[in-house]
């Protein structure tokens, strides 16, 4: 199971992308609001109890100062994937990106792109798939579908702009 947490409800439209992807793959998840600044005790309880509750990976999204992913990572041995979110009080998202990306040595947080919750969901599923062949197969089908989508666009472009490249 994967935990998906965010600093506030305003982050939900971004973080739902991870939830929808995991749901499509049949991966169980929980999703809730856990604020590092406004509910620090809830954050500590969530992080410290995650492993005992059966979580294998935590996806944590936050905007602004974005302390949630790092603080959670400091309280658990589970892998944490940080999703920097462009929030209303953000400095073009750079504050969130750097707050999650620049963790001190010893407390790593995997960091995806700004508003990249979909990639966080994919990465979390890939982590689980290292010990789950069925999930690995579903991920392979997903990746093959991405390849097919790109190759279909190649054919469309080639009909509009014929050329000799056939690879």
* Binding-site residues from annotation: 8, 11, 38
Q: What are phi and psi of 21, to 5 degrees?
A: -65, -50
Q: Characterize the bridge pairing of strands 29-33 and 2-6.
A: parallel
Query: Which candidate, 14, 9, 1, places its Cα nearest to that of 135?
Result: 1
SS3 letters for 75-106?
A: CCCCCEEEEEECCCCCCCCHHHHHHHHCCCCC
Are the C-beta atoms of 74 and 100 separated by less than 8 Å?
no
Binding residues for substrate: 8, 11, 38
């Amino acid at each position: 199971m994967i935990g998906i947490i965010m600093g506030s409800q305003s982050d939900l439209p971004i973080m739902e992308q991870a939830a929808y992807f995991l749901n499509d793959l049949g991966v169980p998840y929980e999703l809730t609001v856990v604020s590092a600044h406004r509910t620090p005790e809830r954050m500590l309880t969530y992080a410290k109890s995650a492993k005992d509750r059966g979580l294998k990976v935590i996806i944590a999204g936050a905007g602004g100062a974005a302390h949630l992913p790092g603080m959670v990572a400091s309280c658990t041995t589970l892998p944490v994937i940080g999703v920097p979110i462009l929030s209303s009080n953000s400095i073009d998202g750079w504050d969130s990106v750097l707050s999650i990306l620049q963790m001190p040595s010893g407390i790593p947080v995997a960091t995806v792109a700004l508003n990249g919750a979909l990639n966080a969901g994919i990465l979390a599923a890939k982590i689980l798939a290292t010990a789950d062949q069925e999930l690995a197969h579903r991920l392979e089908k997903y990746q093959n579908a991405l390849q097919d989508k790109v190759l279909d666009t190649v054919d469309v472009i080639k009909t509009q702009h014929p050329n000799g490249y056939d690879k």
